[in-house]
Amino acid sequence: MTELDFPPHIAMKRRDGRFSVILHRSIALLDKEHIEIKNARSTIYIPLLGILTSSGAGALIAVQAGNLPLWSLITLLLFSIFVFPTSVMGIVSSLIGSDVVIDKRKGSITWQQGYLGLGLGTRELVPFPKVEKIEITIEGDKPERWREEADNIRQFSLELIKTNGRRLILAQVPVIASKQVDGMDRTFAVGKVIADAIQVPISIPSDWELIELDIDTEHEEIKDPALKILMDATTIAVVGLDSRTERSAYQVAKYLQDQQYRIIPVPTKRSEKEVLGEKAWESLKDIPLEVDVVNLFVRSEQTTPFIQEAIEIGAKAIWLQLDIYNEPELAQARKVGIATTENRCTKIEHQLASVNKNKLKEI
């Protein structure tokens, strides 16, 4: 395995030479031979509060024993007896314990005892030969049956799959939807180091794609026509955009506007005069400007008329957002030279492309 190296937005290099990756109330400490997933130092505050309150209860008993009713003394005593040792163990766990240890030299993955077990004793041990693969799953990215939209939170889960099919969680990374690329970056970074140490494959959700950057060339060549047009565009018409800030259409459009794109709103479910400071239009054909990209946030079965309008106005690219499909109509658009793509998010792809450009500049 080559020397580890990560972009600064994913991991920080420590004085001891290891890299640290922030997860959910925990951190992963990475090197080639030894990986630990342990509580973040910030988790020390709750047990520290427990020590303070239990100590205060003990002091109150010592000072006011003769003045307190019996039930109060018993309550304070039980509270101190339970909370104080539990909090001490919690502090020890936060400072020196680990939840998961992957040791290449020993050839095993160890799940340590939790809060009450100090994070020191072994709860489960899996030898490397018993591991089939490492897998990343994501929750919250699909529209729920009773809602039109996906959840605003994405939960990335890094799981170990044993040869008998059993799944064991290594780490979890919850992020807001707008930061899901960052969540995947951090989860994948930890998972890839673990998979390389165990020498097993790592799999990601089918609607995500790994992008390998060719650093031997001075400039990155974007071979994806729809993405190239997006990166070069100035004007994007967003179909389905209205003033509801909780909707994905608004959040994506706001991001694109912050990246200096001119956003043209085309609401479909409510009458709007203006969205994000831009005049709203009833249809693509009404827009008096040249449109580079048409970005669709409507159901798959509702996309046909908008794709046809995009063809009529001579748009350069048509983007169908995540979970939106209409290949037959997109094929018609490609016949007249329009770049098309479906089931892809303009925000996510722009972020990925921008990160790659920054990497090239650093190199």
Note the pLDDT tens digit of each residue in 116-147. 444 445 568 899 999 999 999 988 766 665 55
% the chain with pLDDT above 70: 80
Q: How many residues does the chain have?
A: 363
Strand-pairing partners, residue 339, are: 317
Distance (Å, rounded) from C-alpha 246 to C-alpha 123?
Answer: 42
Distance (Å, rounded) from C-alpha 323 to C-alpha 302?
Answer: 13
Tens digits of residue pLDDT in 71-119:
888 888 888 888 777 766 665 555 544 578 899 989 999 887 554 444 4
Distance (Å, rounded) from C-alpha 268 to C-alpha 54?
Answer: 59
In this predicted structure, the answer to whether residue 163 has a pLDDT above a threshold of 80 is: yes
Tens digits of residue pLDDT in 291-335:
999 999 999 999 999 999 999 999 999 999 988 999 999 999 999
The yes/no answer on whether domain 225-359 falls in CATH 3.40.50.720 is: yes
Closest by CA to 319, choosing from 286, 287, 342, is 342
Based on C-alpha coordinates, what's the Rg of the chain?
27
Distance (Å, rounded) from C-alpha 13 to C-alpha 19?
Answer: 4
Cβ partners under 8 Å of residue 33, min gap 6: 103, 104, 105, 197
Locate 243 and state its tokens.
């003033």
Distance (Å, rounded) from C-alpha 82 to C-alpha 113?
Answer: 19
Domain extent listing, the chain: 225-359
Locate 20 and state its tokens.
């640290």
Torsion angle (degrees, nearest 10) of CA 185, 187, 193, 195: -120
Locate 54 and state its tokens.
């239990």
Locate 149 and state its tokens.
């939209």
